[in-house]
Structures are given as structure tokens and as C-alpha cells.
């Protein structure tokens, strides 16, 4: 029998979700059978898969050793990997629970199929490990994680959580649209009127990582409504600098919606024609998630101190704003 004590970053999870991480070698069907047949107990009593764990709880596991894997070896490998990385991160804001990062265009947020270390999440974890804010050896189911994602070739603010409770709250706030997101974009032409909120319908195709936008619903399963606000800040030499606000957050929403109304983003080869843009050195969409505002609702929580606060990347630090000087 082995016993697992629930720590701060393990608490708040369902029993089955926690064990699926802690017992990575155990098939899900056998995990649920072991709970049902009382080979897994909580505080020496029968437990259900949906029971929420609390800090200080103990799980008793009457299981074969093979299902536990080699935790020490896994932790040593994680430490070795993080030690090998020279972290390149640009924090805009950091406290004991969250960190806001300035992601540069061309940087992937997560590992790709090659599992290289040159991605934002690995650099973040290495940064926190080397400053003593993250210790893999003390964690059973948690590692610092990103709360939102940005396309590889889009720059901007990425929110990361340093503990499990902050991650749960921030994910809840993002799902509840309690974080206002603003982008800067360079587009071809000058939209009219100079400020508007556009409404349309977006459909994501199964193949090709591409979406289409239409003014009326097509009836296709999976089609979603979208709302995109924009404001023209400057126009020069056939281009316009826009501040864009997302009221819905769909795949490629800004790129596809602006192209749909006749103003594709500078450098966007997927939803525009960027041959001339590429010749000028703009090979990827000119889009930056440059500002966010926390607009929390509901009860007080661990992150309530962020309510009403706004964070932004200075426009002069965004490469395509030079076109409008």
C-alpha cells in the first residue's frame, strides 16, 4: 500500500483527475475499477471519482508498483531539462500567483511534435525553477501553466499561473469572458466607419487549420457567432493601424473577420495575399495581443486584487507600428 498526501496544488481537483496525473502508467478503465472496488480510498474510507480533494487529505492506494512509475526519475528528468534551458522570458507583471509574459512573434507557446525546449512554457518553467519559485520535486500533479494561447506568429500578452488555485480561477475567468482583450493590427485599406462592432458567423474546417466567415448562418454543425470591435488609430500609405477588441474568442477570428470585410492583415498569407507584403519583410500577420483588462465578477477569490487592473505592451515595442510614424 502506498499513501499520497494532498498538498496545496493538489487540492481542489476531482479524485479521478488527480490520480490520472499521479498514476500516469494506469489505464483509465483500471483506475475507475480500482476506485469502485475500494483499492483506492480517501482518508481510509470509500471514495467516489468526483470527490473534490482538500489539502491534508490522504489517498490510500492498494495497487501494484508498476502503476506508479518512477517518480524520482521523472522529477530528475524534469530538473535536468529545466537546468539545461537558459530562459528567455519578458515579464510584464509578476506576483506570487500569476505572471504576465510578453510573447514575441515566432515563439510557440507549447511543445511541438519534436518536443524541443524552445517554447514559452518550457522557458517559463525554467525561469521559475531557477529563481526558486517552482520545485518539481515537491509537486505531484501541478506545474506552472499558461492560461491563454496565442498563435506562433502573433505576439502579445500571455497569462501564466504559478499555482493550481490561480490556474483554476484564471481559466474560469477566461471562460466567463471576464478579461477584456485588445489587439493592435495593421490592415490593408481603411475600414469604414472608423469605429464599429462587426457581427458574423465563423466555421472552422476540420482540415487545413482554416476558418471561413459569413454574414448569415449556414446551418453547419459547429458554426459559431463572432463579434469583433475595431477602432482606426492611424492610416498611412494604404495601411491602417487598428485597435481590435474581441467580444468572442474564436480561432483566427480577427484575421478572418477583417479579411471578410475587405481589410486583410498585413503579411497574412492565409486570409489575404501577402506576396508584396513578404517582399517588404512582413511574412506573418501583423497582429499583437497588446492589452488586457481584468473585469472580474462574482465572489471574492484569490485573484480579486487584479480586478480593474489593466496591463499593456507599449505600442513602440511592437514591430509594425513603425509603419505609422
Q: Report the C-alpha gap between 256 and 121 in whole angstroms.
A: 27
Does the pLDDT value for residue 263 go beyond 70? Answer: yes
Task: Cell numbers for 133, please give them.
Answer: 519559485
pLDDT band at 273 (very low <50, low <70, confident <90, very high): confident
Which position has the grid cell 495497487?
Answer: 63
Q: Report the C-alpha gap between 272 and 252 in whole angstroms.
A: 13
pTM across the whole model: 0.87
| Domains in the chain, CATH or no CATH each | 2-67 (3.10.290.10), 71-175 (3.30.2350.10), 179-324 (3.30.2350.10)
Does the pLDDT value for residue 115 go beyond 70? Answer: no
Beta bridge partners of 157: 102
Cα–Cα nearest to 307, from 175, 148, 173: 173
pLDDT tens column, 152-188: 999 999 999 999 999 999 999 999 999 999 999 999 9
- Name the strand (E) or helix (H) holding 54: none
Residue-averaged pLDDT of the chain: 93
Q: What's 137's DSSP letter?
A: G
Q: Report the C-alpha gap between 154 and 157 in whole angstroms.
A: 10
pLDDT tens column, 222-262: 999 999 999 999 999 999 999 999 999 999 999 999 999 99
Task: Cell numbers for 254, please give them.
Answer: 480577427
pLDDT band at 148 (very low <50, low <70, confident <90, very high): very high
Does the pLDDT value for residue 28 go beyond 60? Answer: yes
φ, ψ dihedrals at 171, nearest 5°: -65, -40
Cα–Cα nearest to 173, from 148, 144, 150: 148
Is residue 174 within 8 A of residue 134, CB to CB? The reply is: no
Cα–Cα nearest to 111, from 103, 119, 100: 119
Average pLDDT over residues 26-44: 95
191: which residues sit within 8 A by CB, 6+ positions away?
Answer: 230, 232, 240, 242, 258, 261, 263
Average pLDDT over residues 123-148: 93
Across 21-30, 76-85, 163-172, the highest mean pLDDT is recorded for 163-172
pLDDT band at 78 (very low <50, low <70, confident <90, very high): confident
- Name the strand (E) or helix (H) holding 195: strand 195-204
Does the pLDDT value for residue 114 go beyond 90? Answer: no
3-class secondary-structure state, position 278: helix
Beta bridge partners of 100: 93, 159
What is the pLDDT at residue 31?
95
Average pLDDT over residues 18-31: 89
Amino acid at each position: 500500500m502506498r499513501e499520497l498526501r494532498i498538498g496545496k496544488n493538489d487540492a481542489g481537483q476531482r479524485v479521478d483527475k488527480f490520480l490520472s496525473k499521479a498514476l500516469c502508467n494506469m489505464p483509465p478503465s483500471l483506475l475507475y475499477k480500482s476506485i469502485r472496488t475500494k483499492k483506492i480510498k480517501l482518508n481510509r474510507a470509500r471514495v467516489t471519482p468526483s470527490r473534490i480533494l482538500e489539502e491534508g487529505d490522504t489517498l490510500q492506494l492498494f495497487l501494484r508498483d508498476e502503476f506508479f512509475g518512477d517518480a524520482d526519475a521523472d522529477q530528475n528528468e524534469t530538473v535536468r531539462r529545466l537546468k539545461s534551458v537558459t530562459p528567455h522570458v519578458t515579464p510584464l507583471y509578476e506576483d506570487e500567483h500569476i505572471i504576465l509574459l510578453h510573447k514575441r512573434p515566432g515563439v510557440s507557446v507549447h511543445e511541438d511534435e519534436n518536443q524541443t525546449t524552445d517554447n514559452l512554457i518550457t522557458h517559463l518553467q525554467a525561469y521559475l525553477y531557477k529563481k526558486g519559485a517552482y520545485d518539481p520535486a515537491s509537486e505531484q500533479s501541478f506545474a506552472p501553466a499558461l492560461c491563454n494561447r496565442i498563435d506562433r506568429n502573433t505576439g502579445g500578452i500571455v497569462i501564466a499561473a504559478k499555482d493550481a488555485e490561480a490556474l483554476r480561477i484564471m481559466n474560469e475567468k477566461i471562460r466567463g469572458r471576464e478579461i477584456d482583450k485588445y489587439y493592435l493590427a495593421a490592415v490593408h485599406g481603411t475600414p469604414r466607419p472608423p469605429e464599429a462592432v462587426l457581427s458574423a458567423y465563423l466555421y472552422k474546417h476540420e482540415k487545413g487549420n482554416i476558418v471561413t466567415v459569413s454574414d448569415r448562418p449556414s446551418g453547419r454543425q459547429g458554426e459559431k457567432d463572432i463579434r469583433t470591435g475595431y477602432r482606426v488609430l492611424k492610416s498611412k500609405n494604404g495601411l491602417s493601424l487598428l485597435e481590435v477588441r474581441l467580444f468572442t474568442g474564436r480561432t483566427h477570428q480577427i484575421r478572418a473577420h477583417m479579411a471578410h470585410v475587405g481589410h486583410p492583415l498585413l503579411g497574412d498569407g492565409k486570409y489575404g495575399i501577402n506576396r508584396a507584403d513578404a517582399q517588404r519583410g512582413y511574412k506573418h500577420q501583423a497582429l499583437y495581443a497588446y492589452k488586457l483588462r481584468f473585469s472580474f465578477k462574482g465572489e471574492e477569490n484569490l485573484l480579486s486584487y487584479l480586478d480593474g487592473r489593466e496591463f499593456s505592451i507599449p505600442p513602440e515595442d511592437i514591430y509594425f507600428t513603425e509603419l505609422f510614424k
